[in-house]
Chains A and B, each alone.
Chain A
Amino acid sequence: MSAARRFLPPLLSGALFGGGLSIGGMTDPKRVRGFLDLFGAWDPTLTFVMGGAVIVMAIAWRLQARMARPLFGERFALPGRTDFDGKLIAGSALFGIGWGIAGLCPGPAVASLALAPTTVFPFVAAMLAGMAAHRLIPERRRALATQGS
């Protein structure tokens, strides 16, 4: 597969994604916190962002179901878990608290590096540190468990 075929789809997808986040107001923490302020001065703008994205993707899933392989790849690699556990709930709750505090989630944080690199850098760095911490903790537990056995 040529380099252009491999690199262009994710680059275009990212650029379209970042542009959409920006137009829709997801990169503006005030608007995000206004959207989450359901019991105060609620700003419904992000309802339209989520709605528009979900409708387009619902159509995409229908198309995907009829395709044997992706247009620029060998096979689909999609999540298939259907179980629920405490980690799904606890992790999502922690994420929601962080989202509510700063009005930033991962996509808009990275996109905001374009206009406010120094301001947003602490958030992105801390986010990566949090991801690294999550990766280390279970490994330590696993190591302790094998030591014990």
Chain B
Amino acid sequence: MSDVFANAQPLHGLIGGVMIGLAAALMLLGAGRIAGVSGIMARATALADSDMSCSSAWMFLLGLPIGAFAVAAITGLREAEFASWPILVVAGLLVGIGTRMGSGCTSGHGVCGVSRLSQRSMIATATFMAAGIATVVVTNHLGGLS
């Protein structure tokens, strides 16, 4: 059994997930808004109209790297490996267009919408999961991306 899921960190995952849930709950119950990162990014850069104030959107976005930095400082977590910049640019464009066209990403649809049992969000989540799985299968078959 030890070879199966050798790299999995279920406890880290659960702790991280509960923190994300609490963060989204604070946004919902505290500010009355959905913690959807793509929507908040579009709001902060004036690429979308929303009820959230521009300053609140920037505060949330500013918090993301602050939290990640704090965790790295406490746990000694180091910088991960990322793909080369041309691949990041192509992927970023797809993520930017796709999340606006589909009205949300992993946080807004995947966490906030699915937990609300929103059918739109469940369809969106099933779709981006399936597309992500298919993409990894194809790119791994082609020898991986670097």
Q: Which residues of chain A have a CB within 8 Å of any CB of chain B? A: 6-7, 9-31, 33-34, 36-40, 42-61, 63-64, 67, 69-79, 81-84, 87-107, 109-116, 119-120, 122-135
Contacts beyond the supplied A97-B135, A102-B88: 6 A-B pairs with Cβ under 8 Å: A28-B80, A48-B10, A53-B17, A79-B118, A122-B85, A133-B96
Chain B residues, Cβ within 8 Å of A7: 55-56, 59
CB distance from A88 to the nearest CB of B (A): 5
Would A13 and B131 count as touching, CB distance under 8 A?
no
Contacting A at CB under 8 A, from B1-40, are 5, 7-35, 37-38
CB distance from A133 to the nearest CB of B (A): 6
CA distance A46 to B4 in the complex (A): 16
CA distance A134 to B8 in the complex (A): 37
CA distance A36 to B96 in the complex (A): 20
Would B30 and A70 count as touching, CB distance under 8 A?
yes
The contact sample of 19 A-B pairs, CB cut-off 8 A, is A10-B57, A15-B66, A20-B67, A48-B14, A92-B128, A95-B95, A95-B98, A96-B98, A96-B134, A96-B135, A99-B128, A100-B133, A102-B91, A105-B37, A105-B95, A106-B106, A107-B106, A126-B92, A130-B96
Would A20 and B17 count as touching, CB distance under 8 A?
yes
Residue in B75, B107, B128 whose beta carbon sits within 8 Å of that of A93 in the complex: B128
Chain B residues, Cβ within 8 Å of A98: 90-95, 98
CB distance from B106 to the nearest CB of A (A): 5
Q: Mostly helix, strand, loop or mixed at chain A's interface?
A: helix
Would A17 and B98 count as touching, CB distance under 8 A?
no
The chain B residue sitting closest to A110, CB to CB, is: B64
Residue in B21, B34, B139 whose beta carbon sits within 8 Å of that of A55 in the complex: B21
CB distance from B97 to the nearest CB of A (A): 4
Q: Which residues of chain B have a CB within 8 Å of any CB of chain A? A: 5, 7-35, 37-38, 41-42, 45, 47-48, 50-53, 55-57, 59-72, 75, 77-83, 85, 87-103, 105-107, 109-116, 118-120, 123-125, 127-137, 139-140, 145
Would B26 and A13 count as touching, CB distance under 8 A?
yes
Would B23 and A96 count as touching, CB distance under 8 A?
no
CB-CB under 8 A for A128 and B98, given A60-B24, A93-B131, A114-B72 = no
Chain B residues, Cβ within 8 Å of A44: 5, 8, 10
CB-CB under 8 A for A92 and B131, given A122-B88, A130-B97, A132-B47 = yes
The chain A residue sitting closest to B69, CB to CB, is: A114
Residue in B100, B115, B132 whose beta carbon sits within 8 Å of that of A61 in the complex: B115
CA distance A19 to B45 in the complex (A): 23
Would B20 and A122 count as touching, CB distance under 8 A?
no
CA distance A100 to B141 in the complex (A): 13
